[in-house]
Amino acid sequence: AEIVVDSSKAPAYGFALSLIPDVELSVLLMVRDPRGVAYSWLRPKADPGRAGGYMKRFGATSSSVLWLTWNGATERLLKGRATRFAVLRYEDFAREPEASVGRIVSWLDLGPRDLPFDGPRTVVLAPTHTTSGNPDRERTGPVPIRLDQRWRSELPAWRRALVTALTWPMLARYGYVTASAGGGTAR
């Protein structure tokens, strides 16, 4: 295959791939504001792989530790080993998905491509071979990409403050500010 996309998110797996001769490893680390991650992991979400079951949930402290661990380990293990390494913020992608994918294709030197978009914010998804993970990954057809920032109004202030304190300074390094419920993010 010309290109294989792996979305396992496991830094150790990426490290193992970097050890294989003749594999040109490009790593795109997509990060999300850790307060949005905490909000997402606190909410119950049905797990279609388990009858009547739900995906595992994490509290604000656990999600902060996981966010720091996964993102930090990805950078430490892969930044110097990958042929290419870049960071893309979820928020930037969600604001301009088609343009973001176009920049990724260019970054990978893949040449002109027909991108699967039906407008600047709607992607047309084909079936995938996902075996586990977020059930949203199983969607097919036209899927609008929307920036989800419900955490700004629905995550309690004490949890926002806790996640902010626990994830600082990596939070700032990725361009996130200590935003109030109505504030924004900055680069």
Instruction: Dump pLDDT digits (tens) for 142-167.
Output: 999 999 999 999 999 999 999 999 99
**pLDDT for 185 beyond 50:** no
Q: Report the distance separating Cα 115 and Cα 102, nearest Å.
A: 8
Alpha-carbon separation of residue 139 from 9, 51, 129, 144 (angstroms) = 19, 19, 12, 11
Quote the pLDDT of residue 183: 42
The answer to whether residue 183 is domain-embedded is: no
Strand 26-31 vs strand 84-89: parallel, antiparallel, or unpaired? parallel
Q: Are 164 and 68 in contact (CB under 8 A)?
A: no
- Residue 42 lies inside a defined structural domain of this protein: yes
pLDDT in tens, 121-145: 999 988 876 655 555 667 788 999 9
Q: With a threshold of 0.85, does the pTM exceed it?
A: no
What residue numbers bound the domain in which 165 lies? 11-173
Token pair 């030197």 in the structure block, residue: 109
More reliable by pLDDT, 27 or 186: 27
Residue 87 sits at the vertex; the CA angle it makes with 62 and 83, to the nearest 5 degrees, is 120
Residue 70 counted as domain residue: yes
Kindly state whether residue 186 falls inside one of the protein's structural domains. no
* Cα 87 to Cα 75: distance, rounded to the nearest angstrom: 9
CA–CA distances in Å: residue 134 to residues 23, 34, 106: 28, 17, 28
Q: Is pLDDT above 50 for 63? A: yes
Instruction: Output the CA angle 113-119-125, nearest 5 degrees.
Output: 65
Q: Is the pLDDT of residue 93 over 50?
A: yes
Residue 1 lies in a domain: no
Quick one: pLDDT band at residue 177, thresholds 50, 70, 90?
Answer: confident
Q: Over the stretch 16-54, which tens digit does the pLDDT of each residue have?
A: 999 999 899 999 999 999 999 999 999 877 777 777 787
What's residue 97's pLDDT?
Answer: 95
Would strands 122-125 and 84-89 be described as parallel, antiparallel, or unpaired? unpaired
Residue 53, in any domain of the structure: yes
Is residue 144, in this structure, part of any structural domain at all?
yes
Q: Which has more confidence, 141 or 71? A: 71
Q: Is residue 80 part of a domain?
A: yes
The whole-number average pLDDT for the span 82-98 is 96
Q: Count of domains in the chain?
A: 1
d(Cα 112, Cα 24) in Å, to the nearest integer? 20
- Average pLDDT, whole number, for the chain? 87
